């Protein structure tokens, strides 16, 4: 809310000038009676001009005051002014409507009776800390309406001091932020709920991870305790070529229980199914000739597969042994 119009310093200066002029004219009257009529005429003219100025100034001030009050009354913000002892000296319509009291029940009455008792001393301390150097503050107030409804306001308070630094008035402009506080409470509640859900989700993921590890451990145990012993028995009764198939089968089982198959099948490698099959055999230590026999292809075809594999794995310019490199791919 704007401060009330200041006193018209120009008018005061003019009054002082006229008084000085009047004193000079009076002295001149004493010294020269012959000039009396002329000076009286000039004085009358000056007085008429002065009255006109005063009347015009009063009209301007009256119009400004009407405009000022109209603007303040039309504001949706809650506006009040208080003496240093917190007595209301002005309240606008929005302020009265909000607190449910007519102006006559507020003007001349203490502002603090509208503040919750447990907050009065806190607010008083904040207002008393305002100074000419730091006259402004913003704070929030929680009140309870006569119907028992919780209400929140945000207030902008300004302390007004005179030229000597003496506190003469407080001005407060407020707005209702009850809905904002409700939204904040809802968001805080949802944030807590989300935090609890995240904790629960983390626990579920940890449980899933444990279950996946248990399943993996169970698969590995079944392969080692059930399948591998059978393979070893079959190897004793098989031919050389059958033994190689059994070795390959064992290696494949071991890859299933690790993550080699998943790693070698990554999209970034872009390996075909045949190339992945060749990789699996190379990893077991089979030579190109042995791979050719098992796949019923020529050794040259196996060589072309090896070159393509090295190219896709960025090993063309490298001295890495392909079998060693495939064995070193991390098992995640």
Predicted TM-score (pTM) above 0.75: no
The architecture (CATH level 2) of 238-328 comes to Orthogonal Bundle (1.10)
Q: How many Cβ atoms are within 10 Å of 111's Cβ, its own excluded?
A: 21
208 within 8 A of 216, measured Cβ to Cβ: no
**So where are the chain's domains?**
9-72, 75-176, 238-328
Contacts of 148 (CB under 8 A, 6+ apart): none
Which pairs with CB-CB distance under 8 Å and at least 24 residues apart come from 153-159? Answer: 153/78, 153/177, 157/126, 157/127, 157/130, 158/130, 159/127, 159/130, 159/131, 159/132, 159/135
Task: Show pLDDT as tens, one digit a residue, over the chain (332 residues).
Answer: 455 454 567 777 777 887 788 777 666 656 666 555 665 677 677 667 767 766 766 665 666 555 455 544 555 789 999 999 999 999 998 888 888 889 888 999 998 888 888 889 999 999 999 999 999 999 888 877 777 778 888 999 999 999 899 999 999 999 999 888 888 888 889 989 888 888 988 888 888 888 877 777 677 666 655 566 666 666 666 776 676 776 767 666 666 656 565 666 667 678 887 887 788 778 777 888 888 887 788 989 989 988 998 888 888 877 788 888 887 765 44
What fold characterizes domain 75-176?
A: Beta-Lactamase (3.30.450)
Structure-token pair, residue 281: 């055999």
């Amino acid at each position: 809310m704007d401060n009330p119009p200041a006193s018209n310093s120009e008018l005061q200066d003019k009054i002082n000038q006229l008084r000085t002029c009047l004193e000079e004219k009076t002295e001149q009257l004493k010294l020269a009676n012959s000039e009396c009529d002329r000076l009286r005429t000039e004085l009358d003219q000056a007085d008429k001009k002065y009255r006109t100025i005063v009347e015009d100034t009063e009209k301007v001030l009256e119009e400004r005051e009407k405009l000022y009050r109209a603007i303040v009354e039309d504001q949706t913000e809650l506006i009040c002014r208080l003496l240093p002892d917190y007595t209301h000296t002005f309240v606008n319509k929005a302020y009265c409507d909000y607190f449910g009291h007519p102006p006559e029940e507020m003007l001349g009455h203490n502002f603090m009776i509208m503040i919750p008792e447990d907050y009065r001393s806190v607010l008083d301390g904040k207002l008393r800390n305002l100074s000419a150097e730091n006259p402004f503050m913003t704070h929030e107030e929680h009140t309870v309406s006569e119907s028992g409804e919780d209400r929140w306001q945000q207030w902008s308070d300004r302390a007004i001091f005179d030229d000597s630094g003496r506190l003469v008035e407080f001005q407060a402009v407020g707005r209702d932020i009850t809905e904002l506080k409700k939204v904040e409470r809802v968001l805080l509640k949802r944030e807590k709920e989300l935090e609890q859900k995240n904790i629960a989700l983390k626990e579920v993921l940890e449980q899933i991870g444990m279950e996946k590890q248990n399943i993996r451990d169970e698969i590995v145990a079944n392969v080692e305790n059930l399948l591998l012993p059978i393979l070893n028995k079959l190897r004793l009764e098989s031919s050389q070529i059958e033994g190689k198939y059994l070795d390959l089968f064992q290696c494949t089982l071991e890859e299933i229980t690790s993550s080699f198959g998943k790693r070698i099948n990554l999209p970034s490698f872009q390996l075909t199914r045949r190339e992945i099959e060749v990789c699996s055999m190379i990893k077991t230590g089979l030579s190109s000739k042995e791979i050719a026999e098992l796949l019923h292809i020529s050794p040259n075809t196996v060589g072309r597969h090896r070159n393509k594999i090295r190219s896709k794995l960025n090993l063309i310019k490298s001295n890495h042994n392909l079998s060693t490199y495939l064995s070193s791919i991390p098992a995640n």
